[in-house]
Amino acid sequence: MIELLREAFPGRPETGPALSRILLDQVAAGTRPATARLSRPGRVVAFGRRDTRSPGYGAAVEAARDHGFNGMERLTGGRAAAYSEGTLSLTLTLPDPTPGERTDQRFRDASELARAALGSLGIDARIGEVPGEYCPGDFSVNARGKTKLAGVGQRMIKGAAHVGFVIVVSDSALIRQVLDPVYAALSLEWDPATVGAIEDEAADADRDAVEAALLEQLEKDYDVVPVDLDEDTKRLAAVRAGQFRSPG
């Protein structure tokens, strides 16, 4: 069984990673069961830990804001990635007494879930890094081996693991536009042509269709139980959101 939350914070996207960290702590402590969260982020550039240590981090945050994107520091690793109203996020927070033993397996499972969901929509979705992609990773999900559609990230603590991905449904041009100056500020090489979106591959596949496909795949592995987020956890996430907001 896995509980499904649909909380989203498009007006204050840094609340998302704050909530993810709280859920991770709760699942690890045994006060919350395995939890999935399906959400629609707002416009934000999510920076990884290596980005925050870069001499160009401040300039990258400013470049994002100049394009109408706030900056936040995400829970998982990787490099800068941009989200918009045209993206979807699915994360799984899973109890595991020894999470380090199953790191690769969770990456494989998450990327396969995304690949299978997109494949059911008629997209030639594949797993693997596209040369020159933003926030590169071995378990990225791509279209035709040419453009990146989703990136997978993971965070582990004693007793639990958090793994998930963000799928770009639309707005590939917008994401390309904001990431170009951000990556320049971070002195990172990349190929803007590798930014893809579902609508570029299947024009009829909107966010509702992609959500339905993701849930269909999730239900093959879990008994999915929709729940509402309790008020105490919601308030705590709002309080801790500032810890994940980029400075400036």
Q: What is the mean pLDDT of residues 184-204?
A: 97
Q: Where residue 221 sits, what CATH number does that domain have? A: 3.30.930.10
Q: What is the mean pLDDT of residues 231-247?
A: 97
Percent share of the chain, pLDDT over 70: 100
- pLDDT score for 248: 82
- The pLDDT-based confidence of 236 (bands split at 50, 70, 90) is very high
pLDDT in tens, 13-27: 999 999 999 999 999
pLDDT in tens, 70-95: 999 999 999 999 999 999 999 999 99
pLDDT in tens, 121-164: 999 999 999 999 999 999 999 999 999 999 999 999 999 999 99
- Coil, strand or helix: which one is 230? coil
Q: For all residues of the chain together, what is the average pLDDT?
A: 97
Residue 35, pLDDT above cutoff 90: yes
Residues 6+ apart with CB under 8 A from 51: 57, 60, 79, 80, 186
Q: What is the mean pLDDT of residues 49-78?
A: 97
* Residue 181 host element (H or E): helix 172-185
pTM higher than 0.85 for the full model?
A: yes
Helices (H) and strands (E) in the chain, counts: 8, 11
Q: Which residue segment(s) compose the domain that 216 sits in? A: 2-244
- pLDDT score for 98: 97
- The pLDDT-based confidence of 226 (bands split at 50, 70, 90) is very high
- pLDDT score for 235: 97
- Location of structure tokens 């990884």: 48
- pLDDT score for 79: 97
The number of distinct structural domains making up the chain is 1
